[in-house]
Structure formats: structure tokens, C-alpha cells
Chain A
Amino acid sequence: MHFLELLVELLLMPLLAFVIGLAMVLMMRRIGARIQRRVGPPVLQPIYDILKLYSKDTQISHGLMHEIGVIMGVGGLIAAMTLLPVPGMSGLTDKGGAITLAYMLMIPMLGLALGVGQCANPNGSIGISRALTAMLAYDVPFILVIFGASYIYGTTNLAEMVAIQQQQGVSSWGIVQMPLLALTALLILPATMGKHPFEIYVAPAEIATGPMVEMSGKFMGGLFVMQCFQLYTAGVIFTTLFLGGGVYWITFLPKIFLVVAIPMSVAYLFPRYRTEDVLRLMWKWPMLLGLIGLAVVMK
């Protein structure tokens, strides 16, 4: 039964994404630790963290919308996972392509923003204001990249993009066809993942004036889960657009881990940017690169 298969896929895709995301979190922490000459956490630390957060005794809720916000955040990302093609599974990629994915990824953002707003803490609202500004900053070059890829491949269907690159070999990979756009994507990757050095709104040092100021227990746990999905999403999108996606997990997994690892290693070397500097930066170099890239691609 095709329908049943699809249902199974839809269940499996988020699950896999979660597991891989956990591994990515671990990897990222390890990279950070190595750069700072620390040992880093043990392998199961992310799982422990989540379990700890979900089972805490003090769980402060600031009202219904606070809870719904976190639910929207996690739920929206779970749904978005079904739009990302992975080896053997294409999920809903034919029913909603790259643009749909880009907009689906804003739902968790909005949910979280609403939840934080309900916390009635002005500092939380300030954090959301910064987060949304950052989103405005990196989404413009991001959408530019999506446009370029969709134009090159002649479709917005991510699975078809993978198929095209797989059929025609490495020379047809996005990174060969449109290196400038790939570079753009790489530049904004840390920002789309909400990571160093563009994460002033969620930075540990700024926790008191960030969205997380009123998040405790399972609310924080929800944010942790979201982080896993975000890392995974960033890796898969980049791989799909530029690195030929994957037919086999054995080739696919290294690609996505690499995609997440490279910018992370470099990014840790930079100090954090202020929100307006993020804007200025994102709208200057990645945009410029992206536009030149597009001009090259479209002749």
C-alpha cells in the first residue's frame, strides 16, 4: 500500500531527524570544546539533558499561550521534517517544495515568539524582537539561494533536485554549478541554525534578555528538541541543494554532518554580532555574493 508506506515515512522522518539532530548537538558541543581545549560532554549527554529538563520538578507556566507556543515550535518542526528528502524517503516533498519548507520553518519561530510574549516578561519580548530581526537578516539571502537552486533545477521539489544531481554525477552538483550561491548558503548557515556568532538572542551570556528568560523544565526541553531539528534541517537543506543529497545513508550522513561541522568550527572563532550588525552583515556580503551568483547562473 502506497498510502501506508507514506504514513510510515512520515512517522520515520521526524524520528530519524531527531536522532541525527541529537548526534549533531553532541558533535557541535564537542567541536566547541576542542576549540576551547576542553574534553567535551559524553555521548549520551544530549539525551540526559532532555530527560532532565522534561522531568524537572519546577515547571513554571505563564499561561496557555506559553504552552501552545512551545507545542507549536516543536510540532511545526516535526511537520517540517517530512518535507526534507532523505535516502529512501521523500515524504511530502512532492506536495510542498522548497518554498513551502522555508515558510514552514517560520511557524516554529512564530509559535515560540507567541509563547515568549505570553510570559509577560519584557526581557523576553526584547529577545523576540532581536530574534525576528535576525530572521529578517538571514532569510533574505536564504530565499535568494532557494530561488537560485529552484531556477537551476527547474523545480522547487527537493526530491527531484536530489534525483537530478544523482543522475548526472558530481559535475551537476549544486556546489559545482553555482559555487557562489553555495558559499552564500554556507555563510548564512550558522544564522539559520541559530548558532554562533549570530545567536545573541539566545546566547548563554544574554539569557536574562532573551526568549529563554522564562523557560524552565520541559519548556526549555522543547527548545532543546527544536535545536536538534534545526541543526538537522540546515544540514539536509544544504546537502540537498548543493551536495547531491543522498541515495544511501552511508554517503548522506557524512555530508550532513560535515555541513554542520564546518561552519561551526569556523564560527566559534568569531565574537558575537549585535543584532543590527547581523543585519548589516547578512544584507551585505551574502546578498552581494548571492546576487553575483544568481547573475552568473542566469547569465
Chain B
Amino acid sequence: MTALDHLLLISAVTVAIALLAGNSRVGGWLVTILYALQGAALLMMSGLGYSTLDVVPSSFSIVVLSEHLLWRFDALSWFFALITIGAGFFSSWFASGEWGERYRDNGGNLRLFHGALALNVFTMLVLLASGDLLTLFIGWELVSWASFLIMALAGGKAFGYAMRYISYAFSGAMAILGGLLLIYAEVGSFDFQSLKEAAPQMQTSTLWLLVTLFTAGFGVKMAILPFHLWQAKAYAETPGPGAAFLGAISSRMGLFAFIVVIVQLIGISRLLEMEIPFTFLDAQDLLAWIAIFTIIIPTYIALRQHDARRLLAWHGVGQTGYMLLGIVIANDLGSAGGLMHVFNYATYQAMLFMAVVAVIHRTGTSDLNKLGGLFTRMPLSYIAMLVGIIGLAGLPPMNGFVSKWLIYRSLIVDGSPLLFIGAVIGTLGTILSVYKLIHNIFLGQLRVEHAAVREAPLSMVIPMMLLAAVVFVTGYFPGLVLDWTSAVQASIGLPVLAHHLGGVSISGGLDMIWIVSVLLTGFGFGTLVFFLGGRSKRVHQLDNYAGGHFLTAETRYHYSDNFYPGLMHLIGSWYRNSFEWLEHGLISAVDTLSTAMQGLYRNAHPSYLLLAAVVFALSWVIV
């Protein structure tokens, strides 16, 4: 048994235990411990993350259609598996206490929830371990259906969103299947190595077809434009920690597969040769632009949401763009940034979802127009959300800044000003949006009905605080993560980023240890200056200046709806739901065709056939 066997075995056992015992609190804890064990099994392979180990095979393999199917882990799989198991661990922990009991008491099937979560982790590990194109596809499908399961758990509205997801995902999967069968027809094998060797000789037209099919197929899971419509709603309706898990890692599987097939096997250099006629663009530019639009459009859709979970989920779509952008730029800075962003994003997105779920747990709503002032009631959840939004917005000192910095820097090196501006517009939109998120929930006036709200239970707070620590520490010492991304870069054949514990060692580099230390010292001085001043007096939240009006205690004023009227005044007319229209148009087209076909079967009267038969017989006789 190899280390990978152990990992997959423990993961499978986790699924079984979750399905058997997930209904009880003890069962939940047991499952959480099993995730920790999976993590331990992963650490046994940590050589992969530091380039000391090349590949860890699995001893399980089968031969189908004279194809040798095999599973193995390399640095890329290890890196993604680390995030997957981490997300599973924290989500499961979060779900195992009071949240789970509430969920069960409200008629939810907790057993199935834990089972679905564990199944998601297991299938993802199987996907990450795939050693050839066919196992990649098998893993891909398993992951798709596992996420479908967890999305559909909530029933009701969630069914519709899950259905939409699986329609997208399955069409994507068919595109992938088409692509890899095309490769088989070209190369004669599903082997990674054969594709890698054959790619340089492939015709450009074939490559275009392959790149289109794979980008579309994997892109559906990543929800890149124009396939972005399904994700936010589906994730937002997933029960509590499930949303945290899906938000953190699920759609990264698309990125993983994209990296494997497009970056590692076909190779970025081939993309550069694929020029789009009549433009200055090539395939790489095209992908980069898709990434940019994936950043901008979903981020500004998020800005308009008034449900906290939808808002976060839409940002999730937007952040995918940064990862894709970094990877497609594919220089040492960009790819490191893209990969690191996968890790960073997972940590703060999970935490943000958890904070929102904690708020829902206590107040029963995630409607941003029905909350406010919870900072005084739930300070720890507030801290989690604060750390999270700083990360999401990509500001120092959190880890999100480092990965975004790498991506920006790579764009400067690459000399792509328009991409750069696009990425920054996305970041600025994110800042606006996340401020609205934290303001509408935690700041402003506390509503009367929330006066007695307590802090979330420890089982929910501790995972959040741990994640907050991770977000801060990996922002302080980004080298911890850059070690892993460098191993990944080396293993997929990209230039390796020169780095140290504090950041990047290039001219105009970054040393987060210094930056963060100085920032903290600055805060220290700020505090000093602040307390040098006179003593301040705390007043009640209603004791404030209202320009001559009296704010009564009965009605609380919280500025929440349409938070950025000035901005919306300008860009509001750009929200046209064009993609929704496109989708509707497609559905209508299929519907019309379908009606036509049914009409064909209903109305193709036998009499026509009789007529045809008679004519035929007559002609037979005459001739």
C-alpha cells in the first residue's frame, strides 16, 4: 500500500462513516477527525509539496479497452488535495456542533449532508489523482455528480439551481469527452505523456478545437464567462458549511483540470502560436480576456446582491478569473500568483461563508437589508469576516494581497496594461462590495429584534478563528505557500518563482514580513497617538447627530439598500442580464425544436405513409 492508497482508503472510510453515523453529534466529530486523518495521510506525501518527491503512485489500476488506467499524485494534485481536505475538515467541524443539530431539527438530513460532503472530498481526491485522460474524465464526472448531490440537498429552490448546474456541467463534460476522444483519435492513447509528446506536432486547427472544447468543458465548472450563470445561486442555496466547502474548492477542480490539460500537456507555448486571424490576439490572449471578463462582470453583479451568500458566491466566480488569469499568463510570477490564489481564496472564502452562516444561525437571515449592528453582539464572527474581506479585497496584510500582487506584477512584466486595468477594476469593485457586506451585517445600527443575539457557538467560532489565523499567517509569511506553488510550477513545467519566506526576491519585489511588521507597528503608533488624546466617552448608538431630526428608538435607521447609488446611477444601465437572455434564448430554441419534433411524431399521419406506399407500389408496377 502506498501513501496514496492510504489517503484514498481513509477518504472512502470517511464517506462510509459519514453515511452511517453522520446523524449524531458524535458521528460528526468522528467524521471531522477522519478528515484530520486524511490530512495526516496527505502530509505523509508532503515531499510532493517541496519538490523532494516526484510522484506517489497508487497500487490500484485497471485495464479497460486496452488502456491502462492509473491513479497517482504529483505536486499539483498534492497542492489541490491539501486545500480540499482542509476545506472539508473545517466545514465538517463547523457543521458538527450546534449547526448540525439545528439543521437536523429543521428537517434536514444531516446524515446525507455529512455523506455528501465526504463524498465530495473523496471524488475530488480521485480526480486529483488521475493519471491519464480517461481517469481524469471519470474523476471529473464523479466530482460533478457529487457536487450536484450536495447542492440539491436543500430541496425547493435549490433543486432548480442544482438542475441548472448539472445541465451546464453535463454539457461541459460532454465537451470534455469529445475533446479527449479527439485526442485519442489523434494520438492513439489516453496517456498524459503521449499527448505531451504529440502536442507540438498537432495542427493548429485541431488544437483550436481541443482548446475550445476543454476550456468550455472545464470552464463550466469554473463558471468562467459565458458559463457563469449557474454557480452563485447553486452555491448560495447549499446548506451552510456545504456552501463554505463548495465555495472554497469545488470549482477549483475545473482549474486543476485546465492546468493539467492545457498548461501541462498542450503547453502555453502552443497557445501562443495559435493566432486569431485579423487580430493581434492569440489563444493565450483570448483566454486572458475571458479571465478578465470573468473577474469584472461577476464582481459587479456581486455588488448588486442583497443576500450575503449570493454576494459571496458571485465574488467566488469573480475570483476564479484572477486564478485563470495568473495561470494563463504563465510566467513565474503569474502562475505562482494564480496557484497561490487558489489556496488563499479557499481560506478566506470558507471563512466568509462560515461567518455568514453563523449570522444566519443566530438571526435567521442573510438578507443584507435586514441586519446591522451585529458587531457588538458577535465580535468574533465580525473579526472573521473582517479578516476575510481584507483577504478577498486583496489588501495587505492578508494573504489575498500577495497572490493578487503576484498577478499584477506578472501583468506588468508581460506588458499588458488593459488586462492590468481590468484586474484592478475587479479589485476595486470587490472592495466596494465587501465593505457593503460587512457594513450591512455588522456595522450601523443594531436592530431591535437582534438586541439579544449571542455570539455563535464555539463549534462554529473556532474553525473561523483558525482559518483567520491561516489567512493572516500565510499573508505574513507567504513563502510557506510559495514553497508549494514552486513545487507545482516545477512539476507542470512552468518557470519557477524565486522566493523566500517573506515573499518574492526580484527587483521591485515583495517582503511581506517587513511590510506587515511595519503596518502593525504603524497601527501601534496610531494607537499611541490616539490614546495621547483626551478621554473619550462611549455613547449609545442612537445618540448621534441627525441634522435636526430625532431618531426614535422604535425605528432603526441603517443605510443598507442600494448602497452605492452614485455608482449605480452611472453603471446601472449596463446591467442588462444579457447572459440570462442568452440562456433563455437557448432554452426557447430547444423548446421550439422539441415542439416541432413532437409535432412530427404526433402528426406524421400514417396516411402519408400509405400514400407513399401506394405511389411506391405503382412505380414498381410501371417500371
- Direct contact, A vs B (beta carbon within 8 Å): yes
Interfacial chain B residues near A94, Cβ < 8 Å: 508-509, 511
Q: Which of B415, B431, B522, B547 contacts A110 (CB 8 A)?
A: B431
Interface positions, chain A 50-105, Cβ under 8 Å from B, are: 53-63, 65, 67, 70-80, 82, 92, 94-100, 103-104
Most buried by A among B507, B518, B563: B518
Interfacial chain B residues near A57, Cβ < 8 Å: 534
Interface string of B512-549 (1 = CB under 8 A from A): 00110011011111110110111111110111111100
Which residues on B are within 8 Å of A, measured CB to CB? 373, 375-376, 386, 390, 393-396, 401, 405, 408-409, 411-412, 415, 417, 420-421, 424-425, 428-429, 431-432, 435, 438-439, 442-446, 502-503, 507-511, 514-515, 518-519, 521-527, 529-530, 532-539, 541-547, 557-559, 563-567, 569-570
Interface string of A120-136 (1 = CB under 8 A from B): 11110110111011011
Interfacial chain A residues near B521, Cβ < 8 Å: 10, 79
The 7 A-B pairs of least Cβ separation, nearest first, read A75-B526, A218-B533, A117-B443, A79-B522, A275-B566, A75-B523, A95-B511
A280 adjacent to chain B (CB < 8 Å): yes
Complex CA gap A94/B533 in Å reads 35
**12 A-B residue pairings within 8 Å (CB atoms):** A61-B536, A72-B523, A79-B521, A92-B515, A99-B409, A100-B405, A117-B438, A118-B443, A218-B534, A222-B529, A225-B529, A298-B415
List 9 extra interface pairs beyond A120-B541, A213-B545, CB under 8 A: A63-B375, A98-B508, A103-B394, A110-B393, A132-B432, A148-B417, A156-B412, A276-B570, A298-B415
B537:A208 contact, CB within 8 angstroms? no
Q: Which of A75, A106, A120 contacts B519 (CB 8 A)?
A: A75
A214:B545 contact, CB within 8 angstroms? yes
Number of A-B contacts (CB under 8 A): 254
> How far apart are B516's CB and chain A's nearest CB, in angstroms?
9
A55:B534 contact, CB within 8 angstroms? yes
- Give the residue name and chain of the A residue nearest to B545 (CB): A213
A144:B417 contact, CB within 8 angstroms? yes
Complex CA gap A63/B538 in Å reads 6
Q: Which of B507, B514, B542, B567 contacts A92 (CB 8 A)?
A: B514
Complex CA gap A14/B518 in Å reads 11
Which residues on A are within 8 Å of B, measured CB to CB? 10, 14, 53-63, 65, 67, 70-80, 82, 92, 94-100, 103-104, 106-107, 110, 113-114, 117-123, 125-126, 128-130, 132-133, 135-136, 139-140, 143-144, 147-148, 150-151, 155-157, 160, 208-209, 213-214, 217-219, 221-222, 225, 274-276, 278-280, 291, 294, 298
Interfacial chain A residues near B523, Cβ < 8 Å: 71-72, 75-76, 79
Interfacial chain B residues near A219, Cβ < 8 Å: 536
What is the predominant secondary structure among interface residues of chain B facing chain A?
helix
Q: Which of A113, A122, A135, A276 contacts B559 (CB 8 A)?
A: A122
B507:A155 contact, CB within 8 angstroms? yes
B409:A82 contact, CB within 8 angstroms? no
A151:B524 contact, CB within 8 angstroms? no
Complex CA gap A248/B429 in Å reads 40
A120:B373 contact, CB within 8 angstroms? yes
> How far apart are A149's CB and chain B's nearest CB, in angstroms?
10
Given contacts A95-B511, A133-B432, A135-B428, contact A144 B421 (CB under 8 A): yes
B396:A208 contact, CB within 8 angstroms? no
Q: Which of A73, A106, A128, A144 contacts B526 (CB 8 A)?
A: A73
Complex CA gap A82/B521 in Å reads 11
A117:B534 contact, CB within 8 angstroms? no
Interfacial chain B residues near A122, Cβ < 8 Å: 444-445, 557-559
Interfacial chain A residues near B421, Cβ < 8 Å: 140, 143-144, 147
Q: Which of A10, A59, A107, A113 contacts B535 (CB 8 A)?
A: A59
Complex CA gap A122/B524 in Å reads 30
Interfacial chain A residues near B420, Cβ < 8 Å: 143, 147
B544:A104 contact, CB within 8 angstroms? no
A132:B435 contact, CB within 8 angstroms? yes
- Give the residue name and chain of the A residue nearest to B556 (CB): A120
B529:A104 contact, CB within 8 angstroms? no
> How far apart are B388's CB and chain A's nearest CB, in angstroms?
13
A280:B536 contact, CB within 8 angstroms? no
Complex CA gap A133/B428 in Å reads 9
Interfacial chain A residues near B503, Cβ < 8 Å: 95
- Give the residue name and chain of the B residue nearest to A143 (CB): B424
- Give the residue name and chain of the A residue nearest to B548 (CB): A208
Q: Which of B394, B514, B526, B546 contacts A74 (CB 8 A)?
A: B526
B534:A155 contact, CB within 8 angstroms? no
> How far apart are A183's CB and chain B's nearest CB, in angstroms?
17
B375:A55 contact, CB within 8 angstroms? no
Interfacial chain B residues near A276, Cβ < 8 Å: 566-567, 569-570
Given contacts A107-B396, A147-B421, A225-B529, contact A121 B546 (CB under 8 A): yes
B518:A82 contact, CB within 8 angstroms? yes
Complex CA gap A156/B373 in Å reads 41
Q: Which of A67, A80, A100, A136 contacts B510 (CB 8 A)?
A: A100
Complex CA gap A126/B405 in Å reads 30
A63:B535 contact, CB within 8 angstroms? no
- Give the residue name and chain of the A residue nearest to B405 (CB): A99
B537:A125 contact, CB within 8 angstroms? no
Most buried by A among B412, B429, B526, B541: B526
Q: Which of B393, B514, B559, B570 contacts A280 (CB 8 A)?
A: B570
Interfacial chain B residues near A99, Cβ < 8 Å: 405, 408-409
Interfacial chain A residues near B515, Cβ < 8 Å: 79, 92, 95-96, 100, 104
Complex CA gap A148/B386 in Å reads 33
B533:A54 contact, CB within 8 angstroms? yes
Q: Which of A70, A104, A208 contacts B530 (CB 8 A)?
A: A70
